[in-house]
Amino acid sequence: MSSVRVLVGTKKGAFIITGDAARKKWRVSEPHFAGWEIYHLKGSPVDPDRIYASQSSGWFGQVISRSDDAGKTWTTPGSNPEELKTPDGMPKGESNKFVYNTEPPAGKPLTTHQWYDGTQHAWEFKRVWHLEPSLTDPDTVYAGVEDAALFRSTDGGKSWQELAGLRGHGTGPKWSPGAGGMGLHTIVFDPTNPQRIYVAISAAGSFRTDDGGATWKAINRGLKSPYLPEMTPEVGFCVHRIAIHPSRPGVLYMQLHQGGGVYRSDNAGDLWQEVNGNLPTDFGFPIDVHAHEPTTIYAVPMDPNLRVPPEGKLRVYRSKAGGNEWEPLTKGLPQENCYINVLRDAMAVDSLDDCGIYFGTTGGQVYCSPDGGNNWQPIVRDLPYVLSVEVQTLS
C-alpha cells in the first residue's frame, strides 16, 4: 500500500507529515530544528530515507543537515557533531564549507561572506534557498544560494564545489536582487538528459546548461517586464519558479514577477510565450505540473501589490491545456477574509494514481487535494510561516 510523506519547511522548524494512500489520515511530527528557519527540505528520489535540510539562523549561520532514516535523526555531514554544538546544544554554522577554486578578482577584496587561504575560497552564505538531490545518486545534491551561485556535493553534503560557469556567464554585473534577495531558488533536471539542468535566479532570469554545468546559456527570450529599461534584455527578469513534466522535458512552465505572469516554452527555454489567459492577476510565486497529465498545470495568483489572494479568496487555478484557459479551484478553500501568501517552493505534487496537489501558506496551513485539485482539505493548521512544501511518494 502506497503512502505519502510531506516535508514542510517553516520559519520555526521543519515538520514531516505522513499520510495514507487515500490522503485522509495524517500524522504530524514534532518540529525538527525547532526555532531555526528551514528554508527548504527535500528528499532523494532514489532513496526514500535520505532527506536534506537547509537550516539557517541569525545566531549560528547556515547549516546543511541530512537524515538517512526518513527524519528520525539528523547529522551535519563532514563535521564532528560534538564540535558543532554550542553550550545550549545548538549546531554551529561553521560546517558545510562551499568552496570554489579561483583567486579573488583583481582589486576586489573579499566580502564578509568569503575567506581565502591562498588556494581556495569558501563562502558563508546568508542562506541556501533550494536543495535538489540527484535523480540517480542519493549522495549527489545541488544547492542554490544567496548571493546567486550554484554548488554541488557528491559526498552527501560533506563538501561543496561551485559550478562556476554560471557566475562566469558574463552577465553577472547585470544581475540584481529581488525583494527577498538575490537567490538561486530553482533547480530543475532534465530526466532524459543528465547533462541538462535549468536554474532560475531572482532577479536575473533563467539559465540552462547542456554540459553538466561547465557552460550556461541565458534562456529569457520572449519574457516581458515593464520595469526593465530595455525591451528585450538578455537577463534581469525576476523569475519566481520553473516546472517541467518528466514525460515532456522540453516543455517548461514559468511563473514570472508582476508584469509577466505564467509563461510556457516548448523548446527547452529558447523561446517563451505568455499563457496568462483568464487568470485574475499576473502575479504569483509557485507553479507545478500534474504528475500524470503533462499539460495540466497549477498556479496561485496573488494581488501584485499586497501579495494576498485577490478579494480575500484563496483560489488555486488549473489549466488542462498548458495555459491560456484556466479554472478556479475553490472547494474546501477559504473564500472570504483570507490574507495569506503561497511562496515559490510551497507547492508540490505526489505521484499516486489520483495525483495529489499540496501547498502551504504563510498563515501556517498546509492543504492537500487528493483528486488533482477538485477538492481541498487542510492536513495541518497553525504551523509557523510555511517556506517550502515537498512530497515523497512511498511504496
Residue-wise pLDDT for 53-78, tens only, equals: 999 887 777 889 999 999 999 998 75
pLDDT of 341 reads 98
pLDDT of 4 reads 97
Residue 145: inside a domain, yes or no? no
Residue 318: inside a domain, yes or no? yes
pLDDT of 104 reads 46
Measured CA to CA, the distance from residue 394 to residue 73 in angstroms comes to 19
Residue 149: inside a domain, yes or no? no
pLDDT band, very low/low/confident/very high, at 90 (cuts 50, 70, 90): very low
Number of domains observed in the structure of the chain = 1
Cβ contact 11:37 at 8 Å? yes
Residue 53: inside a domain, yes or no? no
User: Over 50: is that where the pLDDT of 114 sits?
Assistant: no
User: Over 90: is that where the pLDDT of 265 sits?
Assistant: yes
Cβ contact 254:272 at 8 Å? yes
pLDDT band, very low/low/confident/very high, at 169 (cuts 50, 70, 90): confident
pLDDT of 77 reads 79
pLDDT of 125 reads 64
User: Over 90: is that where the pLDDT of 200 sits?
Assistant: yes
User: Over 90: is that where the pLDDT of 191 sits?
Assistant: yes
Q: What is the mean pLDDT of the chain?
A: 89
Q: What is the mean pLDDT of residues 241-265?
A: 94
Which of the residue ranges 16-20, 102-106, 139-143, 334-338 would you say has the lowest mean pLDDT?
A: 102-106
Q: What is the mean pLDDT of residues 198-215?
A: 96
Instruction: Provide, rounded to the nearest whole percent, the portion of the chain with pLDDT above 90.
Output: 73
pLDDT of 101 reads 43
User: Over 80: is that where the pLDDT of 107 sits?
Assistant: no
User: Over 60: is that where the pLDDT of 124 sits?
Assistant: no
User: Over 70: is that where the pLDDT of 246 sits?
Assistant: yes
Which of the residue ranges 59-63, 72-76, 121-125, 232-236 would you say has the lowest mean pLDDT?
A: 121-125
User: Over 60: is that where the pLDDT of 13 sits?
Assistant: yes
Residue 170: inside a domain, yes or no? yes
Residue 275: inside a domain, yes or no? yes
Residue 183: inside a domain, yes or no? yes
Q: Which residue has the higher pLDDT, 124 or 52?
A: 52
Q: What is the mean pLDDT of residues 36-60?
A: 93
Residue 291: inside a domain, yes or no? yes
**What CATH number is attached to the domain comprising 292?**
2.130.10.10
Q: How many CB atoms lie within 10 A of CB 48?
A: 15
CA atoms within 13 A on the CB side of 75: 12
User: Over 70: is that where the pLDDT of 37 sits?
Assistant: yes
* Domain enclosing residue 231, as ranges: 165-340
DSSP 227-252: TSSSSS-SS---EEEEEEETTEEEEE
pLDDT of 45 reads 96
Which of the residue ranges 30-39, 133-142, 155-164, 215-224 would you say has the lowest mean pLDDT?
A: 155-164
User: Over 80: is that where the pLDDT of 86 sits?
Assistant: no
pLDDT band, very low/low/confident/very high, at 325 (cuts 50, 70, 90): very high
Q: What is the mean pLDDT of residues 364-387?
A: 98
∠ CA 148-152-155 to the nearest 5 degrees? 150
User: Over 80: is that where the pLDDT of 136 sits?
Assistant: yes
Measured CA to CA, the distance from residue 264 to residue 272 in angstroms comes to 5
Measured CA to CA, the distance from residue 153 to residue 167 in angstroms comes to 18
Cell 549546531 found at: 91
pTM of the model: 0.91
* Cis, peptide link before residue 47, omega less than 30° from 0: no
pLDDT band, very low/low/confident/very high, at 99 (cuts 50, 70, 90): low
Q: What is the mean pLDDT of residues 361-379?
A: 98
pLDDT of 74 reads 93
Residue 250 grid coordinates: 522540453
pLDDT of 93 reads 40
Q: What is the mean pLDDT of residues 310-318?
A: 98
